[in-house]
Structure 1
Amino acid sequence: MPFHDVIGQARAVLFLQRAVTTGRVAHAYLFTGPAGVGKRAAALALAQALNCQQVSSFEFRVPGLKSGICNLQQHSDTQHPTPNTQHPESPNDGCGECRACRNIANGQHPDVQMIEPDGATVKIEQIRTLEADAALVPYEAQWKVFILNNAERMTEAAANALLKTLEEPARNTVFVLLTSTVAALLPTIVSRCQAVTFSPLPHGQIEALLREQGMESSQARLIASLSRGSIERALSPEVASLPATRDRLLEGLARGFQDGPAALIELADKLAKDRETLQQQLEILSAWLRDLMVAKASGKTKWLVNDDRGETIARQAAVVRLDAVLEGLRAVHTTMDNLTRNANPRLSTEDLLLRLREALPSGLLPVSA
């Protein structure tokens, strides 16, 4: 996947392309941002841009050379084929079709490695193997590229070993660390990398991509709104089943409201067993209350996230007070914020459900009502 195929990250892509064009390629990059927004694709695109066989000779500034300049084709012992006229020269992007680009995309290039966690962590043995390989000259490419996925999952020993490698980088070697949690990395590692920020994709862009793949419009809008800006998350099977998940959640809440506090405490215990699932349920609830607010305030349903339930939302909005909806929405957002601060999931969820029962009418939430 060359740079031109990376979705929704124009600023990050432009920054990397300028580095390739000017020859000011850093020895280490830190790609930060939520999971599934294009960090991995951009790292592979960078490897393709540096090693594409269709790009004509151009100069890089390489630390350590007396002149500071290294001509790529003259510096390499590998003979590259004559550029194919069907693929215009683009010295800041890979063609995506030459042998080098295809091998990089398929994970089969000897000079481009993707290091994944071994189980729960990236272990020191993996970093030592990386160090030994980085000390060697490229096998066939111009640049060796090491991509470390989920870099925040390095053990302390692995992180310290990588730090030594970053302090003494080999020539024509690039390290790309991918993380969604910068705070979990050693500050000394962060300081030795060029940071590149990847932002969540706009919901409208994700919705359009889902519709291009044949997804029905109302489902695409719902999934896009709950994707957290991640196309990877939007395409996951769990998120594809969100409409059914939403209906079960709202029905369960409605029964809990009617049956009383004991039923809500039992429901909170079920919801809080998995933090990731709980986050998704809270996002679903937030979207529903947001739609109630929009319908109540505007009297219109064309702006709804859950537009497949437009009639139900309009009916519920007619019988609920706006201040009650806003109170419920604030309670959901407060709980979501508290969970990011490592609050107890079960106690936080219990408190939220009891607050919602006080704020909202008992018969409000059933989608089948």
Structure 2
Amino acid sequence: MIRRFFSKFLYFSCYYGMISFSQPKSMIEKSKINVNWKVIGHAQQKLYLESAFFGNRLTHSYLFSGPPHVGKTALALDFARLLNCENGNLCGKCLACVNPVEIFSELIVIDKDTEIKIDEIRSLKRDLALKPLSGQKKVAIIANAENLNRESANSLLKFLEEPQKDNFFILTTAAVGFLPQTIVSRVQKINFSPNSKQETEKHLNSLDISKAITKQVLELAPNKIGLANILSKNIEELERWRQQDMELDDLFSQSVFERMQYTSQISKLETQQIVNIFKTWLILSESRLRQTKQKDMKAQTDFIKALNTALMHFKSNLNKRLVLDNFVLSF
């Protein structure tokens, strides 16, 4: 019984990034140059990238894998600037460091919550084919890479197999299990863990927001600085997340019949709207799992598994009512 429980916990911990497997110590060496990273936390990941950068051990393709909203894409942006920084330390003065993302000519970013289509990958390839203008490297960041469809993933794979000399790819994902294994096998994977509550609270205290807002944000996103940053700046979004959190409580307390009634209502929404609700529940459930007592952990892990199964079925374009009915019977 204990062995089975631990196996389940280890599976979810690895999948959602709650357990971080550090890089080999032989590959991590402290640089003598102080890099001015803007991202909070993730010291081991920064150290690994510094070691690769200053030790001339860069690979052309990276996969930043871990929970959503913990700073994966933000660190990818920092790393892209470091690759092009004139002083090699994120000096904050050269064009690579100060240019907004929108006019940073050496950087191409695909960051969306919906399906990433083949035309977007083709456009990215055309941009990468152009030589760098002011910087040294061209960097493509594909956030939420699990949203690649089959055609776009295959198109990207061909590019990853034969990268150009000055091109770098950084993929980020909160669901590495949704990515084709052919892509995962061709990138250097770096695991990310949730932020500590102390890091999140320290960041919120540095912002010009009330203590009441700080408390509400910490309750929803104690280990996700990225999400905390969004919620602290958008009261409407904060209220939406609070509403979803309350609906999550209701869902757990309802009978199967009541859950079926609820899913019957949301089945009238567009599929993408339902997917967004499920992704919100998944993020909230991850935070709850870290605070759950051992005796209640099975219910939380079963719910997370049901959410992920439903999201995978939605991605496969299965009938949404069938997916929802299967979901409520799975936890």
Report the AA paired with residue 97 of structure 2: C
Residue equivalent to 1:67: none
**Alpha-carbon shift at residue 98 of structure 1 (Å):** 1.6
Q: Provide the residue aligned with 2:38 in structure 1.
A: 5
**Compared CA separation, residues 210 and 129, structure 1 to 2 (3 A):** same
Q: Paired residue for 1:23?
A: 56
Residue matched to 1:315: none
* Alignment CA distance shift 1:192-1:213 (3 Å): same
Deviation, 1:123, is 2.0
Identity of aligned residues (%): 31
State the partner residue of 1:96. Answer: 92
Contact 1:30 1:196 (C-alpha < 8 Å) held by counterparts: yes
TM-score (norm 1): 0.60
Matches within 5 A, 1:1-369: 3-53=36-86, 55=87, 91=88, 93-103=89-99, 105-117=100-112, 120-217=114-211, 220-221=214-215, 223-227=217-221, 229-234=223-228, 235-236=230-231, 237=234, 240-241=238-239, 245=243, 274-279=277-282, 329-330=296-297, 332-342=299-309
- In structure 1, give the amino acid aligned to 2:191: T
Match in the other structure for 1:313: none
Provide the C-alpha distance between the structure 1 equivalents of 2:190 and 2:155, rounded to a whole number of angstroms.
Answer: 23
Q: Which amino acid aligns with 2:136?
A: Q
Conserved? CA contact 1:201–1:229, under 8 Å: yes
Cα distance change, pair 157–263 in 1 and its aligned pair in 2 (3 A): closer
3-state SS of 1:107 partner: helix
**2: CA distance between counterparts of 1:224 and 1:179?**
23
User: Residue type of the partner of 1:204?
Assistant: Q
CA displacement 1:6-35 (0-9 Å, x = unmatched): 111111111111111112221111111222
Amino acid at match of 2:198: G
Q: Which runs of 5+ in 1 are unaligned?
A: 56-90, 294-325, 353-369
CA distance in structure 1 between the aligned counterparts of 2:167 and 2:137, rounded to whole angstroms: 6
Return the offset for 1:116. 3.5
Helix, strand or coil: the match of 1:339?
Answer: helix
Question: Aligned in 2, Cα 1:268/1:203: closer, same or farther, shift over 3 Å?
Answer: farther
- From the superposition, tell whether residues 283 and 350 of structure 1 become closer, same or farther in structure 2 (CA, over 3 Å): farther
Amino acid aligned to 2:239: S
- By how many angstroms is 1:206 displaced? 0.8
Is this contact kept in 1: 2:70–2:194, CA < 8 A? Answer: yes
Q: Deviations over 1:307-335 (max 9, x none)?
A: xxxxxxxxxxxxxxxxxxx87x4575255
d(CA) in 2 for partners of 1:189, 1:280 = 25
**What per-residue deviation string (whole Å, max 9, x for no partner) do you get for residues 74-133 of structure 1?**
xxxxxxxxxxxxxxxxx3x21122223222x4331222211345x832222222232233
- Cα distance in 1 between the residues matched to 2:116 and 2:298: 38
RMSD: 3.9
Deviation string, structure 1 residues 146-190 (Cα, Å, up to 9, x no partner): 112222222222222222222221112211112222122222221
Match of 1:79? none
In the superposition, relative to structure 1, how do residues 334 and 188 fare at CA in structure 2: closer, same or farther (>3 Å)? closer
Equivalent in the alignment of 2:319: none
Distance 1:94 1:351, change over 3 A: closer
- Local SS of the residue matching 2:93: coil
Residues in 2 aligned to 1:130 and 1:281: alpha-carbon distance in whole angstroms = 33
Contact 1:203 1:225 in 2 (8 A): no
Q: Determine the C-alpha separation between the residues in 1 that align with 2:195 and 2:183.
A: 27
Task: Summarize the Cα distance change of 1:41–1:220 in structure 2 as closer, same or farther, 3 Å threshold.
Answer: same
In structure 2, runs of 5+ residues without a counterpart are 1-34, 268-273, 311-322
Distance 1:48 1:284 in 2: 31
Task: Look up the SS of the partner of 2:119 in the other structure.
Answer: helix
Q: Does the Cα contact within 8 Å between 2:139 and 2:170 map onto a contact in 1? A: yes
In the alignment, is the contact (CA less than 8 A) between 2:146 and 2:175 conserved in 1?
yes
Contact 1:200 1:228 (8 Å CA) reproduced: no
How much has 1:204 moved relative to structure 2?
2.0
What does the per-residue CA deviation read over 1:53-74, in whole Å, with 9 as the maximum and x for residues that have no partner?
2x1xxxxxxxxxxxxxxxxxxx
What CA distance in whole angstroms lies between the structure 2 residues aligned with 1:140 and 1:247?
A: 46
1:333 is aligned with what amino acid? Q
Q: How big is the shift at 1:241? A: 3.1
Instruction: Name the one with the larger helix percent.
Output: 2
| Cα offset, 1:48, TM superposition | 1.5
Please state whether the residue corresponding to 1:233 is helix, strand or coil.
helix
8 A Cα contact 2:222 2:287, kept in partner: no
User: Does structure 2 conserve the Cα–Cα contact (< 8 Å) formed by 1:31 and 1:179?
Assistant: yes
